[in-house]
Amino acid sequence: MNQFWTLIAVIVGGAMSYLVTWLHERRQTRRERAVRWDERRLDAHVVYLNAVSDQAMLTRRLAATRGFGHRLPAASLADGLDLLTEGEARRGVAFQVIEVLGDAATVEAAYDLNRKLWHLEWCVRGLVRVDEAGWDNAYQAFRRARTDYYARVRDELQVPGAVPAMASDDRPMVGIDQEDP
């Protein structure tokens, strides 16, 4: 009878050891998978934001060509519009990855950022008539949408803290012919 209880204890101990090991490996696998997805999300956000930044800078240069916005080196209108078209294709592909990997709040913030960027593009293409004040308002709206997107990405990736003030302030952009306030 003593051997019976010993055998039961060995079986229960083995089962418990197996169960604890299985649970630990399962948790570790889930953690590793979450880290891999976070890395992919971060990479997707970086690619998307680079495409958005390139487009925004190009719209600022084209705005200077049209005589409004901050004084940046002007771009040839014809070449610049071609570059905008190419850049929009890159931004669109990058955005599709955000749609697949991002959470709902981040995707919605990216949609809003896209809309603000498109408005800038329409301004420099002459599809929307704006004066200098209208351009400044459109660019500030773009900056606010970009800051909101930053905040959503930080939430999604669980980055602690708020968006740094330099990304979220509404100070005017400084051009090469202006002094920093």
At residue 176, the pLDDT reads: 45
Q: Strand, coil or helix: what is 73? A: coil
Say if 11 falls within a structural domain. no
Q: What is the DSSP string of 21-40?
A: HHHHHHHHHHHHHHHHHHHH
Say if 136 falls within a structural domain. yes
Helix (H) / strand (E) element for 94: namely helix 77-101
Q: How many domains does the chain have?
A: 1
Say if 148 falls within a structural domain. yes
Say if 7 falls within a structural domain. no
At residue 162, the pLDDT reads: 81
Say if 180 falls within a structural domain. no
Instruction: Provide the residue range defining the domain that includes 49.
Output: 38-168
Say if 2 falls within a structural domain. no
The one-digit pLDDT tens for each residue of the chain (181 residues) are 778 777 777 787 877 787 777 777 778 777 766 666 888 999 999 999 999 999 999 999 899 888 887 667 767 888 888 999 999 999 999 999 999 999 999 999 999 999 999 999 999 999 999 998 999 999 999 999 999 999 999 999 988 888 776 554 445 555 544 444 4
Say if 89 falls within a structural domain. yes
CB 168 within 8 A of CB 146: no
